[in-house]
Structure 1
Amino acid sequence: MKIVTQVKLMPEADQAAALSATLRTVNDLACWVSEVAFAHGVPREYELRKHTYPRLKAEGLGAQAAQHTIKKVRDAYTTLKANIRAGNLGKEGSRRRRKAESKPVMFRPDAAQPYDDRCLSWQYDQQTVSIWTTSGRVKDVRFVCSADALKVLQQHRQGGSDLIERDGVFYLVATCEIPESEQYEPDSFIGVDLGIANIATTSTGYISAGRGLKRYRKRQLDLRKKLQKKRTKSAKRRLKARSRREQRHAANQNHIISKTIVTEAERTGRGLSLEELKGIRTRVRLRKPQRVAVHSWAFAQLGDFIGYKAKRAGVPLVFVDPAYTSQTCAECGHVDKRNRVDQGLFICRGCGVVAHADRNASHNIATRGESVWNAGRESRVPATP
């Protein structure tokens, strides 16, 4: 299983200048490579190399850096094509899709640049790296990270690393190959209902309320509006300094929630059953006041966090169809839209049971998860006559 580990670089002034100049040079050249690729109908990587490699070498890039720059451009077009095919940029003929298809892919001056072990070497005991730049090899660049992250790097780092710059701070994002634990046979399943009022509700009773995160986001939104209205240099500096803070806060909350859920499943020997919510933003039609809340709902990130933590722990994980889980009674199976009285109350019109709405939905998800698991486990070989 692949995961990424991020470390923060602490370069000296001359080292930071070399790293910054390197990123700007390789990304400027990547934009040129992208223009060449667009003009030639985005050829294969080998064909694109014949058109661009000599100039990249003449501009001062090393052999590996030139190869990585070409591959980065080709991968960007592969991603663009995949997004178009998946409909993420709208239907054929839409304004957004026409705009994406009508011009070359461009790269920011501080966009990530991939490195391999020929361009980057790690000294874990000294917590330093030696890295290629356009000014030559820069050695003894210090990095800092947690003790757990350092241990993961030492034991499991494989493949390349990406150099990125955020607000003048440099980071290395390294790829690590983590062995997956052997998956055990679950006794039963824990259903996890995802939502906005309650971020996650499990069939075992755990509820992660979304009130705190909602208040935090509202506070951040109001602050951004105030700063944007001022239109001063100071306000712009503050907006830039606060950028991505909300994303980091939400990601931290999702890490806490996912770790709690996976730990409980591992401790009790049960599996996890989650809703398959991909494409929900395109399926659901919302009123304008609800759009900000739904589009800032990081359910996909929470699902990904639960997924990779479950793999590391060997916890079985299945995804189920979420249709009618909030309208179905977990006791008698009666389905009625009116069963869901309001956001938090469920009253079955069939048997009269009263329950917490999200808790009831989580029990339905757990039942479906067990059915999906058993269906996949059953033998499909015809019986011997």
Structure 2
Amino acid sequence: MRLVVQVRLLPTREQAAALEFTLRAVNEAANHVSRVAFITGTRREYALRRHTYRELKARGLGAQAAQHVIKKVADAYTTLHANIRNGNLGPQGSARRARATSKPITFRADAAQPFDDRCLSWRIDARTVSIWTTAGRVRDVAFTASAEQLTMLAAYRKGESDLVCRDGMWFLIATCDVPDRPIAVPDAFVGVDLGIANIATTSDGVRHSGKGLNAHRHRQRRLRRRLQAKATKSAKRLLKRRRRKEARFAANTNHAIAKQIVTEAERTGRGIALEDLGGIRERVRLRKPQRVALHSWSFHQLGSFIAYKAARAGVAVIHVDPAYTSQTCSSCGYVDKRNRPDQETFACTSCGFAEHADVNAARNIAARGVAGWAVSHAADDAARTVESTDGEELQARSFTAEKLTVKRSPDQ
């Protein structure tokens, strides 16, 4: 399992200037490589090297830095084509897709740049790094990290680290290759219903309300609107300073919810069943006032947080089809739109069972998780049984052949 550790660099003024000049230089080079890739239609990394490597070296980039720039551009075009292929940029002929494909990919002046172990050396005990820049090797750049981060860096750091400048602060994002923890066979599943009014509701009846997060987002939108209308220099400075505040608040909320869900599942020896909500924004049609809430709904982030925290804890996670989970009675299984008269209420018109609508949906998700796990692992068990049977049969054949050989030996 791959995780990332973000540490903050504490460079001196001279070191910060060298890092800033280097980041600008490599991103200008990346924009040049992107233009070459767009004009020539060359998108593969090794083909781009033939077109641009010598020129990047002439610009003052080192060999490793030049190769990382080319790879960064090739990866960006690979991602673009994957998004087009998956329909994430709209259908053929849509304005969004046309904008994305009509010009070269561009990189910000402070876009992240990867460094490998030839360009970046860590001294974790001294909390310093040595990093390549266009002005030469910059040594003893201090960084700060928690004890847990230092332990993970020392034990599992492997591969590239990204240099990032964000709001005047410098960060290194290091990749750590953590050994996979064996997934425990679950006794049952905790169903998790994701929503906007309630961010997450579990089949145990625990509801994580979205009231605070929605109020925070509403306040941020209102404040952004006022500052954008004012359009003064001080208003623009404030907008720039606050631009990530909402995202940080939402991410912190999702982290806390994911931790609670995974901890409870681990404590009780259960797995976690999540809804597969991929493509919901394209499927759902809403009135204009409701679209803001839908498109700011960070269900994917919460699901990814639960998945990686569960993997670290050895908790099984399965994704199920969410269709009709809100209209199905978790007691008798009867499906009817009238079972859910409003957002909060579920009342079965067949058996009379009543429950909070999100809790009822979470119980249906938990039941589908049990069924899905049984189906997916029945095939694995059958394959292991066949493999074991084949192994025993092969061993028996080998033993019989050995006996025949012994019997037919002329020395006997």
Cα deviation code 1:275-313 (max 9, x no counterpart): 000100000001111111111110000000111111111
Instruction: Quote the residue 1:267 is aligned against.
Output: 267
Aligned partner of 1:175 in structure 2 is 175
The AA in structure 2 aligned to 1:85 is R
Question: Which residue does 1:81 correspond to in 2?
Answer: 81
The DSSP-based 3-state class of the residue aligned with 1:158 is strand
Give the 5 Å matches for 1:283-294.
Answer: 283-294=283-294
Shift of 1:85: 0.4
Quick check: which one's helix share is greater?
2
Q: Which residue of 1 aligns with 2:393?
A: none
Asked whether the equivalents of residues 179 and 312 of structure 1 are also in contact (C-alpha less than 8 Å), the reply is no
User: Partners of 2:259 and 2:144 in 1: how far apart?
Assistant: 24
Fraction of identical pairs, as percent:
63
Confirm or deny: 8 A CA contact 2:43 2:77 kept in the other structure: no
Distance 1:62 1:278 in 2: 42
CA displacement at 1:146 relative to structure 2: 2.0
Tell me the TM-score normalized by structure 2: 0.91
Q: Deviations over 1:52-78 (max 9, x none)?
A: 111111111011000000111111111
Tell me by how many angstroms 1:354 deviates: 1.2
Tell me the distance in 2 between the aligned counterparts of 1:378 and 1:106.
48
1:115-158, Cα deviation, whole Å (9 max, x unpaired): 00000011111111110111111111111122212211111111
Aligned-pair CA distance for 1:43: 4.0
Q: Which amino acid aligns with 1:187?
A: D
Give the structure 1 partner of residue 406 of structure 2: none
Question: What's the secondary structure of 2:131's corresponding residue?
Answer: strand
Larger radius of gyration: 2
- 1:338 aligned residue: 338
2:17 — aligned with what? 17
Q: SS of 1:378's equivalent?
A: helix
* Aligned position for 1:127: 127
For 1:25-71, what per-residue CA distance to the aligned partner results, in whole angstroms no more than 9, with x for missing partners?
11001101111111111242212111111111111101100000011
Distance 1:69 1:145 in 2: 28
**1:157-176 mapped onto 2 (5 Å cutoff):** 157-176=157-176
1:73-114 superposed Cα distances (whole Å, 9 cap, x missing partner): 111111111011011111111121122112111111000111
Q: Are 2:299 and 1:299 aligned?
A: yes
Secondary structure of the residue aligned to 2:80 is: helix
CA contact (8 A) 1:180 1:313 kept: no
Q: Distance in 2 between matches of 1:345 and 1:118?
A: 60
Which range is displaced more, 372-381 or 157-166?
A: 372-381
| TM-score, L = length of structure 1 | 0.98
Q: Which residue of 1 aligns with 2:66?
A: 66
Q: Which residue number in structure 1 is paired with residue 186 of structure 2?
A: 186
**Structure 2 segments unaligned to the other structure (5+ residues):** 390-412
CA distance in 1, matches of 2:377, 2:103: 49
User: 38-47 or 242-251: which moved more?
Assistant: 38-47
Task: Report the equivalent of 1:153.
Answer: 153
- Note the 1:348-367 alignment, pairs <5 A: 348-367=348-367
After superposition, give the CA deviation of every residue in 1:311-330 in whole Å (9 maximum; x if it has no partner). 11111111000000000000
How far, CA to CA, are the matches of 1:52 and 1:84 in structure 2? 26
